[in-house]
Amino acid sequence: MSGRTILVWFRNDLRIHDNEILLEATEKAETIIPVFCFDPRYYTETAYHTQKTGSFRAQFILESVADLKISLKKLGGDLLVKFGHPEEILPEICKKYQVDEVYHHREVASEETEISSMVEDALWKLQINLKHFIGHTLYHKEDLPFPIKDIPDVFTTFRKKVEREGIIRSSFATPSKIEVPDHLESSELPTLTDLGIESPIYDKKSVVKFKGGETQGLQRLKYYLWDTDLLQTYKKTRNGLIGSDYSSKFSAWISAGCLSPREIYWEIKKYEKERVANDSTYWLIFELLWRDYFRFMFKKHGTSYFMEEGFKGVKQDVAINQEVLFENWKNAETGISFIDANMKELNLTGFMSNRGRQNVASYLVKDLKVNWTWGAAYFEDKLIDYNPASNWGNWAYVAGVGNDPRENRYFNIEKQAHDYDPKGEYVNLWLKD
């Protein structure tokens, strides 16, 4: 190890399990410096007049960073928490502690990759290498049966070939011990007020209280698989609307990197061996593959996912009074009970079911004829489980400017409400006091 010091830059990988950058740093260096930066660019208003990070997600991130700090301390280490731009902060830390190399996980969306580039440029001036790792997906891109540029733009084609020919690597071990420099400075987490965010008010009807952190994420994984056997019926219940257990609810922990998709996969495989393998156990892996797909698509198509015409270059018809229609939609005042109930749940809890998301997105785009990117930006603000690829990829999909071979995908809202809320229980829960 020859006295090397490696800085481990945490971003959306807030865990110690299955974390290659953390494990390799502990193996290659005598001391490591784990760092997390609260970047002010993520706590500002967007061009859409929405928050880049709303209160529910900001609270979740704070809890996740706090949990990571505790986990690292238990291993003998610590987490250096800073507020500011990583391209300014990381070089300063490197100079102060004579860092030899910096490790981080690659991101795929444009803002995140731009920040990585700025960090890389700043470190290069100090002759320090920023080493890139891939750790957010089920499949490593090197193990796909095609290069990123040749990934099919239709999910089913991608899925069949990957399931046939791709491989999923084993999870990385958790380090048993972490050494940080003796004189590593102490640091405290900012508060929501420091970030310019108001504290979230949790509605008593919330399906589940999402508490951030790897500890909570692993507990949810254990609960959903081993404690309750809920996984056995996932395919039948996943389109539910009420309660905490109709679906896995892993998404928030996956988005912040508190839960590794690969760890979930191998736990499902263990469950299949020890309990049961059925269409439900397969379907949860299928959903993880969808998440992978959108990340790979972002890598392939880049910023076109943030453009109104998408990568298909399709122009959307919009209503003359779309501003008014959009305000009604986001404030749960459309007059369509099923839509308003879902939007009310989102606004009051930071969460909405997958079935709800598809319906409110389709209604905004196809029925109200409002610019789909407005809806995507609103979700970015409100969702506790937001990540760029899944959010913008799914919205582009519904709008018909992304990955959907079926043109003019349309949800009949009245039929959807009848099929998934036949007794009106969900609507009554959110619209009746």
- Quote the pLDDT of residue 313: 87
- Quote the pLDDT of residue 2: 59
Integer CA distances (angstroms), 178 to 4, 26, 189, 280, in order: 14, 6, 21, 39
- Render pLDDT for 134-188 as a digit per residue (tens, 0 to 9): 999 999 999 999 999 999 999 999 999 999 999 999 999 999 999 999 999 999 9
Instruction: Quote the longest CA-to-CA distance of the chain.
Output: 68
Of the chain, the end-to-end C-alpha distance in Å amounts to 63
d(CA 88, CA 198): 27
Domains of the chain: 5-135 (3.40.50.620), 214-301 (1.25.40.80), 307-431 (1.10.579.10)
- Quote the pLDDT of residue 1: 45
Whether the pLDDT of residue 408 is over 80: the answer is no
> Where does 29-186 show beta strands of DSSP type E?
31-38, 80-83, 101-105, 129-133
Give the angle subtended at the CA of 263 by the CAs of 262 and 269, to the nearest 5°.
Answer: 90
pLDDT (mean) for 424-429: 97
Q: How confident is the model at residue 245 (pLDDT cuts 50, 70, 90)?
A: very high
Whether the pLDDT of residue 405 is over 70: the answer is no
pLDDT (mean) for 276-289: 98
Provide the token pair at 59.
Answer: 């609270």
Number of Cα atoms under 13 Å in the Cβ half of residue 140: 13
Whether the pLDDT of residue 386 is over 60: the answer is yes
pLDDT (mean) for 28-50: 97
Cβ(109)–Cβ(81) below 8 Å: no
pLDDT (mean) for 1-16: 92
Helix (H) or strand (E) segment spanning residue 294: helix 279-301
Among candidate residues 331, 251, 344, the one with its CA nearest the CA of residue 57: 251
CA torsion 239-240-243-247 (nearest 10°) is: -20
- Quote the pLDDT of residue 185: 96
- Quote the pLDDT of residue 314: 84
- Quote the pLDDT of residue 312: 85
